[in-house]
Structure 1
Amino acid sequence: MAKRTGEKYEAIIEAAVRVIAENGYHNAQVSKIAREAKVADGTIYLYFKNKDDVLISLFNEKMGSFITSVEKAISKEASPVEQLRKLIRLHFKHLEKDRKLALVTQIELRQANPEVRKGIGKVLKRYFIVIDSILEKGKSSGVFYEDLDIRIARKMVFGTLDETVTSWIMNDFKYSLSDQADAIHRLFIHGMSK
């Protein structure tokens, strides 16, 4: 298998986002992805085992780079309250600027098989660690309740972000996703703070 870098690899990942968003995961044949990426069908198999591997790689690439940017951004904020605000804003801004990626990650990934869901687990776990670190910092610094259950709070944070994006998609992107960030942040902070 070819090394997963370079122009062709990137072209395939970007093409997969467009093809899956436009056709749905089950109707997104490898040949359509290859045509959109302007590569031969066989080239796809130099980088990926199958279509599931393309979807897993797409998610891991896109989400992985997003998480790295979140980690850098929140490291510049001293306050866990501001770190959480930054995370929420970045989450919404990232998906708002790429509606096709939002469709793929929010809708199409959920229709994929268990192997795909298992394949994206590692990168999701990394995102959960970022959320947990903010919550732990808030708890240990006395900003959030000392008996805050980090696991439950993380589920609430991630679940709210996830549902807000899904609702935005289901409403045909009719409003600004980023405009929801401050209200959601306020709800979290008032629910977790002393």
Structure 2
Amino acid sequence: MEISTTRTHTQTLKEKQRQERERLILAAAEEVLYENGYHDTSIDEIAARVGVAKGTVYLHFSSKEDLIAAVFTANFERFLRALDEVITETMTPRAQLETILARMYEGYYVRLIQLLYNNADLKKLFQARKQQHPPPWDALVSRVIAILEAGKARGDFDQHTPTKVMASAFFCLLSPTSYERLVIAEHMEVQALVDYLGRIYFDGVTNAK
């Protein structure tokens, strides 16, 4: 009994160590990706930052592509969990979408979106993996579509505009590079920018009463 307990404890400890090492690899990969861009991100540099051998990284992720995809998946899952903490069923569909828009423009996620918008190689990566591995942002798209449908059912949003068109227009707002001049050169507060974009969008999709 004591031997079995010791073995279980050892296995648990090893699993915790494995999980922590994987977390460190993902964190380092994210840093290198932001600093160097996708093309110049290397497993060697990631391994060096974690303080492990290159082969150790490959024990967790079979390729650079798998590792980068895991970085985006982990980030979008974290973002969805953050939304779950602030979005409630008592909020109107518009309030829910306004919350998503504001959260997407928070500094951390702006960088994530910028990478996707600006890098053709990353787009090709996710396109090539699409059949076996749906893009990590699919869950967010589905959520926005569901909120828009709920808004239509309540009579809040225009019944005649297809929901997919509304969703596409919503995600067009999430292009920080299109508006960064206003923030950097014009010194506009990010929240003010979000408010203006939201006003333009919701004025367009709100059902006329």
The percentage of aligned residue pairs carrying the same residue is: 22
* Distance change in 2, residues 1:113/1:179 (3 Å): closer
**What TM-score results when the alignment is normalised by the length of structure 2?**
0.78
Q: Which runs of 5+ in 1 are unaligned?
A: none
Pair 1:111 & 2:150 matched: no
Give me the whole-angstrom Cα distance separating, in 2, the residues matched to 1:125 and 1:100: 18
In the alignment, which of 155, 166, 177 is matched to residue 168 of structure 2?
A: 155
Alignment of 1:1-194 (within 5 A): 6-93=19-106, 96-97=107-108, 101-108=112-119, 110-112=120-122, 114-117=124-127, 118=129, 121-161=134-174, 163=175, 165-167=176-178, 171=181, 174=184, 175=187, 176-193=189-206, 194=208
- Provide closer, same or farther for how the CA distance between residues 49 and 68 of structure 1 changes in structure 2, counting only shifts above 3 A: same
For the residue of structure 1 that corresponds to 2:40, the secondary structure is: coil
Does structure 1 conserve the Cα–Cα contact (< 8 Å) formed by 2:151 and 2:157? yes
**Aligned equivalents of 2:205, 2:156: Cα separation in 1:** 8
Shift in CA distance, 16/103, structure 1 to aligned 2, threshold 3 Å: farther
Aligned residues: 187
Q: In structure 2, how many angstroms separate the alpha carbons of the residues matched to 1:78 and 1:9?
A: 37
- 1:41 is displaced (CA, Å) by 0.8
CA distance in 2, matches of 1:56, 1:66: 15
Bigger Cα displacement from structure 2, 97-106 vs 56-65: 97-106
Determine helix, strand or coil for the equivalent of 1:49.
coil
Gaps of 5+ in 2: 1-13
TM-score by length of 1: 0.83
Larger Rg, first or second structure (1 or 2): 2
- After the TM superposition, which of the residue ranges 145-154 and 70-79 deviates more from structure 2? 70-79
Change (3 A) 1:28 1:45: same
Give a deviation string over 1:1-46, Cα, whole Å, max 9, x none. x989721111111111111221221111110111122222111101
Q: Note if contact 1:18-1:100 (Cα within 8 Å) is conserved in structure 2.
A: no
* CA distance, structure 1, for counterparts of residue 74 and residue 178 of structure 2: 24
Deviation at 1:136, TM superposition (A): 0.7
Q: CA deviation at 1:77?
A: 4.4
Partner of 2:10 in structure 1? none
Equivalent position amino acid for 1:107 in 2: N
**Alpha-carbon spacing, 1:179–1:41, altered in 2? closer, same or farther (3 Å):** farther
Q: Deviations over 1:114-169 (max 9, x none)?
A: 343335744221111111111111110001112231000000001221x2x13356
2:25–2:47 Cα contact (<8 Å) kept: yes
